Structure 1
Amino acid sequence: MKHFVTMKDQSEADILQLVIKADCISKHGAVPFQSPFFAANLFFEPSTRTKMSFVVAERKLGIEPLDFAADSSSVTKGESIYDTARTFESIGANVIVLRHQQENIASQLADSISIPVINAGDGTGEHPTQSLLDLVTIYQEFQQFKGVKVVIAGDIKHSRVARSNAYALSTLGADVYLTGMEEWQDDTLPYPYLPIDEATEIADVFMLLRIQHERHQDHVSFQQESYLEQYGLTLAREAKMKRDAIIMHPAPVNRGVEIDTRLVECERSRIFKQMQNGVAARMAVIDTLLNQGGTFHEKTTNKRQAIIG
Structure 2
Amino acid sequence: MQAQAGMDRHLLGLKGIGADEINSILNRAAYWAGRTEKVTNLLQSKFVANMFFENSTRTRFSFEVAEKRLGAEVLNFTSAVSSVQKGESIHDTVRTLESMGIDAGVIRLKPIGVLEELAAKIKVPLINAGDGNNEHPTQALLDLYTIREHFREIKGLTVSIIGDIQHSRVARSNLWGLTAMGARVRFCAPENMRAAELMEYAPYVSMDEALQSDVVMMLRVQLERHEHGMIQSAEEYREQYGLTAERAAGMPAHSIIMHPAPVNRNVEIDDCLVEHERSKIFTQMTNGVPIRMAVLERALT
TM-score > 0.5 by shorter chain: yes
Offset, 1:214: 5.6
Query: SS of the residue aligned with 1:120?
Result: strand
How far apart are the structure 2 equivalents of 1:94 and 1:183?
42
Query: Quick check: 1:41–1:98 contact (8 Å CA) kept in 2?
Result: yes
- Residues 1:25 and 2:32 are matched in the alignment: yes
How far apart are the structure 2 equivalents of 1:138 and 1:104?
29
Which residue in the other structure is 2:99 paired with?
A: 90
How far apart are the structure 1 equivalents of 2:86 and 2:226?
28
Query: SS of the residue aligned with 1:157?
Result: coil
How far apart are the structure 2 equivalents of 1:245 and 1:181?
23
Query: SS of the residue aligned with 1:68?
Result: strand
Structure 1 window deviating more from structure 2 (237-246 vs 26-35): it is: 26-35
2:56 to 37, 42, 47: 47
Offset, 1:72: 2.1
Which residue in the other structure is 2:85 paired with?
A: 76
Query: SS of the residue aligned with 2:160?
Result: strand
Equivalences for 1:48-63 in 2 at 5 Å? 48-63=57-72
Q: Deviations over 1:171-199 (max 9, x none)?
A: 11001011111110111112011111111
Q: Deviations over 1:38-88 (max 9, x none)?
A: 111111111111000000000000011101121221112221111111111
How far apart are the structure 2 equivalents of 1:90 and 1:56?
25
Give the direction of change, closer, same or farther, for the CA distance of 1:217–1:3 in structure 2 (3 Å limit). Answer: farther
Where do 5+ consecutive residues of structure 2 fail to align? 1-7
Give the direction of change, closer, same or farther, for the CA distance of 1:93–1:243 in structure 2 (3 Å limit). Answer: same
Query: Quick check: 1:158–1:212 contact (8 Å CA) kept in 2?
Result: no
Equivalences for 1:190-229 in 2 at 5 Å? 190-201=201-212, 203-213=213-223, 219-229=229-239
- Residues 1:115 and 2:117 are matched in the alignment: no
Where do 5+ consecutive residues of structure 1 fail to align? 292-309
Equivalences for 1:89-238 in 2 at 5 Å? 89-189=98-198, 190-201=201-212, 203-213=213-223, 219-238=229-248
How far apart are the structure 1 equivalents of 2:224 and 2:105?
25
How far apart are the structure 1 equivalents of 2:155 and 2:224?
35
What CA RMSD, in Å, does the superposition of the two structures yield over aligned residues? 1.6
Query: SS of the residue aligned with 1:163?
Result: helix
How far apart are the structure 2 equivalents of 1:265 and 1:34?
35
How far apart are the structure 2 equivalents of 1:120 and 1:147?
28
Structure 1 window deviating more from structure 2 (25-34 vs 161-170): it is: 25-34
Offset, 1:106: 1.8
Q: Percent identity?
A: 49
Q: Deviations over 1:16-41 (max 9, x none)?
A: 11111112211225843264011111
> How many pairs were matched up?
290
Which residue in the other structure is 2:5 paired with?
A: none
How far apart are the structure 2 equivalents of 1:157 and 1:105?
19
How far apart are the structure 1 equivalents of 2:70 and 2:150?
26
Query: Quick check: 2:110–2:131 contact (8 Å CA) kept in 1?
Result: yes
Which residue in the other structure is 1:11 paired with?
A: 18
How far apart are the structure 1 equivalents of 2:93 and 2:226?
28
Give the direction of change, closer, same or farther, for the CA distance of 1:5–1:217 in structure 2 (3 Å limit). Answer: farther
Offset, 1:98: 0.5
Offset, 1:215: 7.4
1:288 to 278, 298, 301: 298
How far apart are the structure 2 equivalents of 1:69 and 1:172?
34
Q: Which amino acid aligns with 1:211?
A: V
Query: SS of the residue aligned with 1:177?
Result: strand
2:271 to 261, 274, 291: 261
Q: Which amino acid aligns with 2:234?
A: Q
Offset, 1:101: 1.0
Query: Quick check: 1:58–1:283 contact (8 Å CA) kept in 2?
Result: yes
Query: SS of the residue aligned with 2:202?
Result: coil
TM-score, normalised via structure 2 length: 0.93
How far apart are the structure 1 equivalents of 2:224 and 2:118?
24
Query: Quick check: 1:23–1:140 contact (8 Å CA) kept in 2?
Result: no
TM-score, normalised via structure 1 length: 0.90
Which residue in the other structure is 2:3 paired with?
A: none
